[in-house]
Amino acid sequence: MYMCLAMTIVFYSLWTIGISKSNHLILTVPFVIIICMRYSMLIEQDSFGDPVDVVLFR
């Protein structure tokens, strides 16, 4: 899971660098990192890995 999470962040970062002509899209990378880490933290808690339960905070 951590390897996929790291690859997602790296490829998203590379994509934003490659597609943006200005630096505005690159500013979204920290938000994606925070969202991915929060999702990972919620999965490791009491949820059984169901994304619906994680997103809806059940």
* Alpha-helix runs per DSSP H in the chain: 2-19, 29-44, 51-55
The low-confidence residues of the chain, meaning pLDDT below 70, are: 47-49, 57-58
How far is 29 from 7, CA to CA, in rounded Å? 13
Q: What is the pLDDT of residue 49?
A: 64
Count of domains in the chain?
A: 1
Q: What is the pLDDT of residue 44?
A: 78
Backbone conformation region of residue 49, classed left if phi is above 0, alpha if psi is from -120 to 50, else beta: left
How far is 41 from 55, CA to CA, in rounded Å? 12
How far is 37 from 34, CA to CA, in rounded Å? 5
Q: Name every residue whose Cβ is closer than 8 Å to that of residue 49 and which is 6 or more positions away in sequence.
A: 43
Residue 15 belongs to what domain range?
2-55
